[in-house]
Amino acid sequence: MTAHGLRPLWLALALWGAVHPMWYFLSYMAGNGWSLGALIDAWYVNASTTGLVWDLTIAAITLTLWILAEVAVRRNWEALLAIPAIYCIGVSCGLPLYLYFRSKPVG
């Protein structure tokens, strides 16, 4: 399968990566008073969750740098939309969204 042929899959994964994790975040917040601070505090309740937060933070920073470097060369400006998706939704949405933009046919 070509990169172009994977575009629908990248978009489906971006949508899944936006909806599925957000369901858990909203469920937690609904049960804990809609406090963003409480949600963030929950990410650091033990070494396991703290490690996961750092893993995702490092992945987000790395992906952002990769996007910026590639956009500077490829001039695929719409791919920059993946950066706010990374930080406002999550890497699970931002990475497949970037791959969706990156796999757009050139020409």
- Residue 107 has a pLDDT of 66
32/27 Cα distance (integer angstroms): 9
Residue 28 sits in which domain range? 4-102
Say what percent of the chain tops pLDDT 90: 90
Domain membership flag for residue 35: yes
**Burial 11-37, CB ≥16 within 10 A → b, else e:** bebbeebbeeeeeeeeeeeeeeeeeee
pTM, 2 dp: 0.90
- Counting the structural domains of the chain, the total is 1
Please check whether residue 63 is in contact with residue 55, taking contact to mean a CB–CB distance below 8 angstroms.
no
- Residue 105 has a pLDDT of 83
Q: What is the per-residue pLDDT across 26-60, written as a single tens digit (0 to 9) for each?
A: 999 999 999 999 999 999 999 999 999 999 999 99
Q: What is the per-residue pLDDT across 2-17, written as a single tens digit (0 to 9) for each?
A: 767 899 999 999 999 9
Q: Within 10 Å of residue 53's Cβ, how many Cβ atoms?
A: 13
What average pLDDT does range 71-99 have in this prediction?
97
Q: Within 10 Å of residue 1's Cβ, how many Cβ atoms?
A: 6
Domain membership flag for residue 79: yes
46/48 Cα distance (integer angstroms): 5
- Residue 44 has a pLDDT of 95
Nearest in space to 14 (alpha carbons), one of 103, 106, 73, 85: 85
Domain membership flag for residue 107: no
Domain membership flag for residue 75: yes
What is the residue-averaged pLDDT of the chain? 94
Q: Which long-range contacts (C-beta less than 8 Å, at least 24 apart) are formed by 70-73?
A: 70/102
What average pLDDT does range 21-30 have in this prediction?
94
